[in-house]
Amino acid sequence: MPFDQNLESPSHDQINNPPARVSMAADKPKADLPVKTCLAEGTQASRTLELSTPPLLAYFGQHKSGSNWIHQIMRDVFVKMKLTYKRISDNTGIESNLNEWHRRTNIQSMSWVKADWRCVKLCNVRGFHVVRDPRDILVSGYFSHLKTHPTENWPKLKSFRKQLLSLSKSEGLTLEFDFMHKLWDRMSCWPVLHPDVLTVRLEDFGEQYIERFHSIFQFLGLFDLGLTERHFASIMEANSFKKRSGGREIGQEDTSSHYRKGIHGDWRNHLNDEHIELVKERLNHLLIKYEYESTVDWN
C-alpha cells in the first residue's frame, strides 16, 4: 500500500471495538512528503474562506477500476449519513471547474467515476482516488466492451462493440489501447500524494477490503460525522464481491457478468508479447507512477 502508508488498517477486533476517534488532521500525509498540487485561480484569502466551509466529500474513480462497486458503497454510506449525493460519469455539468460546480449545486458528497484532476483544481474537497493496473484495465475493458457494459448514452461504444465482435481477442485487445486513450490521459494527470485526496490502488482492497474502506473512511472523517460501526459493517456485507457477483468467490470467472473475475494480474492470461511491447511503449509511465513496476524493462 504505497500511497497511504501512514494510515494503518484496523484488525477485525478493532472494527468491532473501535478506539477513540482520531482527528482528520492526524490522517494527513506528513509535511515532508512531496505534495503535487494544482491551485485554483484566486487569492490565498479566498482559499482560506473556502476552507472555513465543509469540504465536498468525494470518491474519484476511473473506468474499469472498480468504479461501479465503489460507487455503490459510497452511495449507501452517504445516503445513510443523510448527505446530499450525486454520481457523475464524465465532466458534463462540471466543465473545467469542480469548485464552481460545488458552489452552484451545494451537493455534499459525490462519486465521479471518470474523474479529471484538471477539473478539481484543489477545490475544497476531502476525497480518495482509486487507480488500477493499466494492464488489467485493458483486459477488463476488452471483455466489458465486448459483452456487458451498457451502451445507453454511449454511442461510441455501440460501434466499437460491433468492431470487437468481428475481431479476434488479440486484435480486440490491441484496439483497446486507443479506445481508452482519454483514461490514460486522466491517470497521467492525477497527483499521487496530496493532503486532501488519498490515492488508493484497487488491488490493495482484495480480501481485506473491509479494513481498507475503514481506513479510507477515517481519512474522510466519516466516523466523526456520524457514520456508526454498525452501519459500516452492514454496508460492507451488502457490497461484498460474492453478493455483487451473484454468489461467486473472487477469482471465479463469468465473462457474461459485469463483475467478471475480481482479481489482480489477470492480464498475464490474456496479453501476448505484442501487447506487452505496446504497454511498455505507451503505458510504462503509469506503471512506474503508481508503483505497479519499479523499472521500465519489467517482464
State the pLDDT at residue 6.
46
Q: What integer best gives the mean pLDDT of the chain? A: 81
pLDDT at 34 over 70: no
Q: What is the CA radius of gyration of the chain?
A: 19
Structurally, what CATH architecture does the domain formed by 31-132+190-244 represent? Answer: 3-Layer(aba) Sandwich (3.40)
Task: Please name the residue that has the C-alpha cell 477545490.
Answer: 123
Paired with 58 in beta bridges are: 110, 127
Residue 85: what are its φ and ψ, rounded to 5°? -140, 145
State pLDDT tens for residues 270-296. Answer: 999 999 999 999 999 999 999 999 999
State the pLDDT at residue 244.
64
SS (H, E, C) the chain: CCCCCCCCCCCHHHHHCCCCCCCHHHHCCCCCCCCCCCCCCCCHHHHHHHHCCCCEEEEECCCCCCHHHHHHHHHHHHHHCCCCEEEECCCCCCCCCHHHHHHHHCCCEEEECCCCHHHHCCCCEEEEEEECCHHHHHHHHHHHHHHHCCCCCCHHHHHHHHHHHCCCHHHHHHHHHHHCHHHHHHHHHCCCCCCCEEEEEHHHCHHHHHHHHHHHHHHHCCCCCCCCHHHHHHHHHHCCHHHHCCCCCCCCCCCCCCCCCCCCCHHHHCCCHHHHHHHHHHCHHHHHHCCCCCCCCCC
State the pLDDT at residue 241.
72
Give the predicted TM-score (pTM) of the model: 0.79
| Whole-number percent of the chain with pLDDT over 70 | 76
Paired with 60 in beta bridges are: 112, 129
Name the residue ranges covered by the structural domains of the chain: 31-132+190-244, 134-185+251-289
Distance CA 41, CA 203 (A): 35
State pLDDT tens for residues 198-207. Answer: 999 999 998 8
Distance CA 192, CA 2 (A): 10
Task: Please name the residue that has the C-alpha cell 512528503.
Answer: 33
State pLDDT tens for residues 139-158. Answer: 999 999 999 989 888 899 99
Mean pLDDT of 81-100: 89
Of 14-18, 25-29, 201-205, 246-250, least confident by mean pLDDT is 25-29
Task: Please name the residue that has the C-alpha cell 469542480.
Answer: 98
11 touches 91 (CB < 8 A):
no
State the pLDDT at residue 113.
93
C-alpha distance from residue 117 to each of 57, 61, 112, 125, 281 (Å)? 15, 11, 11, 12, 24
